[in-house]
Amino acid sequence: QVQLVESGGGLVQAGGSLRLSCAASGSIFSINAMGWYRQAPGKTREFVARITSGGSTNYADSVKGRFTISRDNAKNTVYLQMNSLKPEDTAVYYCNAPILTAFLGWGDYWGQGTQVTVSS
């Protein structure tokens, strides 16, 4: 019923920038905090950034000062602006959100992921 779809990933050289988007669709009543996570090959999924419905943000120490999370509530979309990218940022990036839906109540939803590759 509800989908989170990420886009904007790709290949970029070190020092470059990308902007990721994640749009939620379906029978949505409400969305709480939206976040970005990433998983590099052979590693566990880790927290990147989070933004509440009111606009408060927090970031992993590794991306502070380089990444900016934002959201457009009217579009049910969250963004991640990534600047000064490093090879260590290479990973599949996933968005996540608790969503209140018409039939199932509250649920925790994940997108399919988008690949970000930073070359040196």
Rounded to whole angstroms, the Cα distance separating 70 from 91 reads 20
Residue 35: closest CA among 91, 111, 103, 107: 111
Please say if the pLDDT value at position 1 is more than 90.
no
Give me the amino acid identity at 55: G
* DSSP conformational letter for 7: E
For 47-95, write each residue's pLDDT tens digit.
999 999 999 999 999 999 999 999 999 999 999 999 999 999 999 999 9
Residue count (the chain): 120
